[in-house]
Structure 1
Amino acid sequence: MNGKMKAVVKHHSGFGAEMQMVDIPQIKEGEVLIKVKATSICGTDVHIYSWDEWSQSRVNPPYVFGHEFSGEVVEVGSNVTSVQCGDFVSAETHLVCGTCPQCLTGQFHICKNTKIIGVDTNGCFAEYLTLPAGNLWKNPKEMPFNVASVQEPMGNAVHTVLSGEVAGKIVAVIGCGPIGIMAVGVAKAAGAAQIIALDLNDYRLGLAKKMGATSVINSKNQNPLETVSRLTHGNGVDVVCEMSGHAVAIDQGFKMVTNGGRVSILSLPVRPVQIDVTNDIVFKGITVKGITGRLIFKTWQQVSSLLASGQVDLTPMITHHFPLEEFKTGFDLMLKGECGKVILHP
Structure 2
Amino acid sequence: MKALIKEKPEQGLRLADVPEPSIGPGDVLIKVLRTGICGTDLHIRAWDGWAQQAIRTPLVVGHEFVGDVVAIGRDVVDVAVGDRVSGEGHLVCGKCRNCQAGRRHLCRATVGLGVGRDGAFAEYVALPSANVWVHRVPVDLDIAAIFDPFGNAVHTALSFPLVGEDVLITGAGPIGLMAAAVARHAGARHVAITDVSEERLELARKIGVSLALDAKDATIADGQRELGLREGFDVGLEMSGRPEAMRDMIANMTHGGRIAMLGLPAQEFAVDWARVVTSMLTVKGIYGREMFETWYAMSVLLEGGLDLAPVITGRYGYRDFEAAFTDAASGKGGKVILDWTA
The runs of 5 or more residues in structure 2 that have no matched partner are none
- CA separation in 1, counterparts of 2:187 and 2:137? 29
Q: How does 1:214-293 map to 2 (within 5 A)?
A: 214-279=210-275, 281-293=276-288
* 2:8 counterpart of 1:9: no
- TM-score, normalisation: structure 1: 0.95
What is the match of residue 331 of structure 2? 337
Q: How does 1:115-264 map to 2 (within 5 A)?
A: 115-140=111-136, 142-264=138-260
CA contact (8 A) 1:54 1:270 kept: no
| Structure 1 residues 125-150: Cα deviation after superposition (integer angstroms, max 9, x where no partner) | 11000000111111136322111111
| Structure 1 residues 113-169: Cα deviation after superposition (integer angstroms, max 9, x where no partner) | 111111111110110000001111111363221111111111111110111111111
- TM-score, normalisation: structure 2: 0.96
Q: Percent identity?
A: 42
| Structure 1 residues 242-301: Cα deviation after superposition (integer angstroms, max 9, x where no partner) | 11011111211211222100110011111112111112x111101110001111111000
Q: CA deviation at 1:230?
A: 4.3
What is the match of residue 314 of structure 1? 308
CA contact (8 A) 2:90 2:112 kept: yes
| Structure 1 residues 224-255: Cα deviation after superposition (integer angstroms, max 9, x where no partner) | 33333443434211111011011111211211
- CA separation in 1, counterparts of 2:123 and 2:12? 20
CA contact (8 A) 1:264 1:289 kept: yes
- CA separation in 1, counterparts of 2:77 and 2:136? 19
What is the match of residue 304 of structure 1? 299
Give SS of 1:122's match.
coil
| Structure 1 residues 22-58: Cα deviation after superposition (integer angstroms, max 9, x where no partner) | 1111111111110001000112212222223322222
| Structure 1 residues 36-82: Cα deviation after superposition (integer angstroms, max 9, x where no partner) | 01000112212222223322222222201110100000011111111
- CA separation in 1, counterparts of 2:253 and 2:54? 32
Q: 1:50 to 1:234 in 2, by over 3 A?
A: farther
- Total equivalences in the alignment: 340
Q: CA deviation at 1:223?
A: 2.5
What is the match of residue 84 of structure 2? 88
Give SS of 2:29's match.
strand
The runs of 5 or more residues in structure 1 that have no matched partner are none
* 2:110 counterpart of 1:110: no
- CA separation in 2, counterparts of 1:204 and 1:342? 13
